[in-house]
Amino acid sequence: MLHKNIVGRKYEIERLQEVLESKESELVVVYGRRRVGKTFLVNEFFDNQFDFKLTGVFNESSKVQLKRFSAVLEEYSGLHSDEPGSWFKAFDTLKAYLKSLDKKRKVVFIDEMPWLDTTKSDFVTALESFWNGWAAAQGNIILIACGSATSWMTNKLLGDRGGLFNRSSTRLFVRPFTLHETELYLKEKGIDWTRYDIAECYMIMGGIPFYLKQLNAKWSYTQNIDNMFFRDKAVLWDEFDHLYHSLFKQADAHIAVVEALAKKKMGLTRSEIINETKLPANGKIGIILKNLEINGFVRPYRFFGKKKQETIYQLCDFYSMFYFTYIKDNYGKDAHFWTNSLDNPSRLAWAGYTFEQLCKEHLDCIKKKLGIAGVLTETSSWFSKGEDEKGNGATKKGAQIDLLIDRRDRVINLCEIKFSLNDYTIDADYDKSLRNKIETFKRETGTRKSIQLTMITTYGINKNKYSNRVQSEVVLDDLFVPT
């Protein structure tokens, strides 16, 4: 089956094809953050040919949701039915309708499912009864459960406390596009940009299809960013509030954590987050962090050599990083802000830091270029604050390493990441800094593994008397390779 309108998503298409060809009933859970293209994927794969499709309504009561269910069922069946008083009754009427269909495979698509699970609605219990008590045994039902509230999807449908635990046959976590998929998508839209511009665009909005859809092929990259974020009533000017309030019931607490992380580029520990946000030091902060992690806004990582309880949480959602850096305090001040800030030092600093996050999102590409795709690895960061040497006034310089790839073959790739307009030149000062990083890391960690210096840059490094220290290189083009 061809799916010419779907860009990328090869794995997801293969799994859905297996579901379609199965001889059994299939419960498919499709989840991922808001705007990532879940609904589009399902609609396009099945060519919008569903036997029943219901979409939950945001922030509405159970009565409104049930009324909508009744109206949709009437559209599909052509028969009038009384409005169900409960979800148990609703699923009973759906069962009766599906029984009446003489079809080999019957496809039910329930989108934005978390919005249907209102307080005391018994939606999940009724869904369990429908699936476990009837649909699973029919052998020809495909039930697709889809939702953006990823924490709800994982806890209520995929967690181990309900009747649907281990009942899903296929779990599809729809991720943002990679750089490779983003380039393919832009070409489909008639946008032919350099990979440098595509990378900068990615560093603003990530690989979120809905955001990428707003780009206009007639405009340059900078014109598009001004139009989407900085002009009056821009299409994404109020996206931030919609994004978090549609995903999290305690949106303000989640935003407080994200804002605290946006101010600390290296990230914060749990206790530091509590200190910064003044949120209660109880189990709720753990739930908030887990929600943000599951939805792809926060990345937990560790410092090299530290134990698990030393977990650092780092903001990794590109749009949120861009919002706190530029949109929150700049909106409405300059409709051409991005174009006018082209040579601003703060923008260069933003690009350098955000490129590090882009590299961390494409570790598979980096490992592929290094020839270690099949090697078991752990990634981490590391820094040393420096110290006085025995009170004699002399000091040991601090050092920071943003990305370490610790390999099972007893090699550590110490990665230096640089985003620049041209080939990067290692001068005498930077060479000295590199030597200090390597020596300090070896001394303070006591590692006996071999250290390989890896440079990750946009266009590579200039060859000079200092470049021989670099043992491997990764360039921007390598991050566009499909994995």
> Mind listing the pLDDT tens digit for each residue in 316-362?
999 999 999 999 887 667 889 999 988 888 888 899 999 999 999 99
pLDDT one-digit tens code per residue, 270-282: 999 999 999 998 8
d(CA 479, CA 158) in angstroms, rounded, equals 32
What is the architecture, at CATH level 2, of domain 10-173?
3-Layer(aba) Sandwich (3.40)
Which pLDDT does position 205 carry in this prediction?
Answer: 95
d(CA 483, CA 473) in angstroms, rounded, equals 18
> Look-up: residue for tokens 């440079």?
455
- Whole-structure pTM value: 0.90
Which pLDDT does position 392 carry in this prediction?
Answer: 45
d(CA 480, CA 212) in angstroms, rounded, equals 17
Chain centroid, CA 71 distance in Å? 35
**Secondary structure (3-state) at 145:** strand
Domain locations in the chain?
10-173, 179-237+331-354, 241-323, 364-480
CATH topology of domain 241-323: Arc Repressor Mutant, subunit A (1.10.10)
CATH number of 364-480: 3.40.1350.10
Comparing C-alpha atoms, which of 358, 403, 409 is closest to residue 379?
403
Contact 478, 459 (CB under 8 A): no
Mean pLDDT of the chain: 91
d(CA 372, CA 410) in angstroms, rounded, equals 12
Which pLDDT does position 162 carry in this prediction?
Answer: 61
Which pLDDT does position 389 carry in this prediction?
Answer: 47
Least confident of 154-163, 190-199, 242-251, 382-391: 382-391
Hey, CA dihedral for 418, 424, 429, 430, is it positive or negative?
positive
pLDDT at 231 > cutoff 80: yes
Number of other CB atoms surrounding residue 285 within 10 Å? 18
Mean predicted confidence (pLDDT) in 382-405 = 71
Beta strands 377-384; 472-475: pairing state:
unpaired
Two tokens, residue 8: 């990328």
Two tokens, residue 164: 């649907």
**Number of helices and strands (H, E) in the chain?**
21, 14
